[in-house]
Chains A and B, each alone.
Chain A
Amino acid sequence: MVVALGGVAQTAPADPDPSFRDLAREQLPRLLSIARRLVGDDAEDAVQDCLLKAFQKFHQLHTPASASAWLTKILVNCCRDRGRANARQPTQIDFDAAEEFSLYRKIASEDPYPYSDSLHLDFLAEFGAEDVRAVLLRLPEIYRIPLVLVYMDGFLARELAEMIDIPLGTVLARLHRGRKLFETQMWEYAEEAGMFRGGRQ
């Protein structure tokens, strides 16, 4: 089943006083999609945690129109808790090298598709949604969360700052470093997956 997502649904339900079940059911596909990108195979458990916590705190939801952001905030915290509990070892990353890395220049210099006249677009075209998810899961959580919520789910940086209780400047710094790390990991992932020349292994 393909579920169309994207953007932050903020449309107020027709029912002025909808039940928790109605509000949460409407958000379920979006919550599961976010969780899959934040915690991979633990997504179902993270959403279960989120539903239980949200149900207990339902009286704290001020208006049905803010249910989307409210549930996302609870979900992100559940994902962070799960990430801490599992304490996965992220891929070893050289932060200094990442800061200087340019995927655009790397593709141009390595020329992974010698007969292509649209090298950069060909590289990006290799990345389906599952590949993007796999690359995201290589990043440390503090960089993965801003990338997912801002560039994939349409939250503003200031909304994210409020959601996870950190200063806006910290969010912007994490977005900057997260983008650089994402680019380095895209290249490494492409090499490991055999995306170049002979196609995928």
Chain B
Amino acid sequence: MINCSEAVKQLWEYLDGTVDEADRALVEEHLSRCRRCCGELEFARELRRVLAKSASVDLPADVLRRLNQTLEELNP
């Protein structure tokens, strides 16, 4: 059995799938009896979504145009 502190430290690795089988089982056992850590897990999931979503941004068209111009000059 692990406590909340130990479980929370591994939640992202748990979501990443980078914990080994034994640690995965310990985290899941803890989550099955700890509502607060389930909240931490859901929050971690949402935070990952925020990060992934933020990769899509408005790119400045003038910068893209200049970079394309560089390409034209490199490879006429």
A-side residues, CB < 8 A to B, are 1-6, 19-21, 24-25, 28-29, 32-33, 36-37, 43-44, 47-48, 51-52, 55, 102-105, 120-121, 124, 127-130, 132-133, 147, 151-154, 157, 172, 175-176, 179, 183
Spell out B's residues near A (CB within 8 Å). Answer: 8-9, 12-13, 16, 18, 39-40, 42-44, 46-48, 50-59, 61, 63-64, 66-68, 70-72, 74-75
* Chain B min CB distance to A146 (Å): 11
Shortest distance from the beta carbon of A105 to any chain B beta carbon, whole Å: 8
Known pairs A52-B74, A104-B39; A32 contacts B63 (CB<8 A):
yes
**Which chain A residue shows the least CB distance to B39?**
A104
Are B52 and A151 touching (Cβ within 8 A)? yes
Provided the pairs A124-B47, A151-B52 are in contact, do residues A21 and B57 lie with their beta carbons within 8 angstroms?
no
Interface of A is mostly: helix
B46 touches A25 (CB 8 A): no
Q: Are the C-beta atoms of A147 and B56 separated by less than 8 Å?
A: no
CB of A151 within 8 A of CB of B13, answer: no
Q: Which A residues lie within 8 Å of B56 (CB)?
A: 2-6, 33, 129
**Is A20 touching B54 in the complex (CB atoms < 8 A)?**
no
Q: Which residues of B contact A175 (CB under 8 A)?
A: 12, 16
Within 8 Å by CB of B74, from A33, A51, A157, lies A51
